[in-house]
Amino acid sequence: MSLTLYRRGQIWHYRGTVAGRRLRGSTGTADKKIAERIRAEKEAEAWQCRFDGPGARLTMAKAFIAYLDGGGEDRFVAKLNAHWGNKLVSEITPDMIHRAAPKIYPGCTGATWNRQVIAPTIAAINLCAERGWCSPIKAKRYKVNAKTKVPADLAWVNAFASQACQDGLVHLAAMAVFMFGTGARVGEATALIWSDVDLDNAKATIHQTKIDDTRKAHLPQQVLTALRNIPSNRAPDDLVFGYAGRGSVTKVWNNVAARAGIEPLTPHCCRHGFATTMMRKGIDVKTIAKAGGWKDAATVLRTYAHALDDKTVTDAVFDTPVTQGQNTGDVTNSNKRKKRA
């Protein structure tokens, strides 16, 4: 389909598909004759680029090189490059990308296919499209059933910390309390060094791994006590909790939870517990987001809305105290008992 002209206000614009590329833009003129000439030039330019331009022999291998040079994540590129190889980008269709995912990662879930195949493949192609080498592309993602996030509560954290201390793992107990009390991610906790901690002023500098930023976290008294209990000379560059990363925490963490006879929650559930507990106590989501290092309040609300899933809150429209799970009969009987008293 060639480019067609259409007016937006007084100015002529063009749109259409040429040589497999979707094009649209403004001619910048109200004169239709000039607009026609610009439209024809854009068409000719697109065809020339198709046969002679940088996109004529653009392979997926070259696209991935450009993607990495542009700062793209390299974790999944090796497998993608092995699959696509010297396939021309111009021959890649959305359906091909969609069908490639289970071939590259057989037996995995839609979330893995989306994250490790579809997203980086599209990102590489669209980076080249931004440079005028090819057409942009979109591909359908696999449906992912969101898992309900199970938060740790204070009772769970106390039980875990108690067992860890019994096992001589005081530093692990402190880490659980620290994550629950500050909302730190496990990677952020393991990266914490003593120079990041100010016990006298109850503050810690948390280097946020997910959004490449830092934040100052308040340390509640329980967290301060747990940190002070860690046997350490507190050298500035020493790791506070003694673990090199999240991978070195998982096994020992699971063993402690099993010995404590509590639900086998992950370290990240302490961060969930931080947000959920604060939300249930009526703290506004903007404050929670700032205190826990979430990008914005909408993320907190979308992720932790289950914390407010109490259908009795509608009692409030009648200026009645929320019954916190009681049914109408319970409330009625309670009122009758009060009158008799």
The answer to whether residues 111 and 26 belong to one domain is no
* Distance of alpha carbon 127 from alpha carbon 138, whole angstroms: 12
pLDDT at 146 over 70: no
* Distance of alpha carbon 122 from alpha carbon 125, whole angstroms: 5
pLDDT at 258 over 80: yes
pLDDT at 172 over 60: yes
The answer to whether residues 192 and 265 belong to one domain is yes
The number of beta carbons lying within 10 Å of the beta carbon of residue 40 is 13
Q: What is the pLDDT of residues 48-77, one digit of tens each?
A: 655 555 555 789 998 999 898 888 878 899
The answer to whether residues 95 and 72 belong to one domain is yes
The answer to whether residues 217 and 257 belong to one domain is yes
Nearest to 209 by CA among 104, 293, 150: 293
Per-residue model confidence (pLDDT) at position 152:
93
146 vs 329: which has the higher pLDDT: 146
If residue 16 lies in a helix (H) or strand (E), which one and from where to where?
strand 11-18
Q: Token match 């009060």: residue?
A: 338
What share of the chain has pLDDT > 90, as a percent?
Answer: 50
The pTM score is: 0.56
Please indicate, yes or no, if residue 136 is contained in any of the structural domains. no
334 vs 147: which has the higher pLDDT: 147
Q: What is the pLDDT of residues 179-233, one digit of tens each?
A: 999 999 999 999 999 999 999 999 999 998 666 678 999 999 999 999 999 999 9
The answer to whether residues 298 and 221 belong to one domain is yes
Residue range(s) defining the domain that contains residue 286: 154-306
Per-residue model confidence (pLDDT) at position 19:
65
- Quick check: 27 and 12 in contact, CB under 8 A? yes
pLDDT at 334 over 80: no
Please indicate, yes or no, if residue 17 is contained in any of the structural domains. yes
CA distances from 82 to 113, 125, 197 (A): 16, 16, 45
pLDDT averaged over every residue in the chain: 84
The answer to whether residues 101 and 210 belong to one domain is no
- 40 φ, ψ (degrees, to nearest 5): -65, -40
The answer to whether residues 162 and 273 belong to one domain is yes
The answer to whether residues 242 and 113 belong to one domain is no
pLDDT at 301 over 50: yes
Rounded mean pLDDT, 106-118:
92
Per-residue model confidence (pLDDT) at position 213:
78
pLDDT classification of 20: cutoffs 50, 70, 90: low
Per-residue model confidence (pLDDT) at position 110:
92
* Distance of alpha carbon 82 from alpha carbon 104, whole angstroms: 9
The answer to whether residues 207 and 93 belong to one domain is no
- Quick check: 219 and 181 in contact, CB under 8 A? yes
Q: How many CA atoms lie within 13 A of 72 on its CB side?
A: 24
- 244 φ, ψ (degrees, to nearest 5): -70, -25
Please indicate, yes or no, if residue 302 is contained in any of the structural domains. yes
Please indicate, yes or no, if residue 189 is contained in any of the structural domains. yes
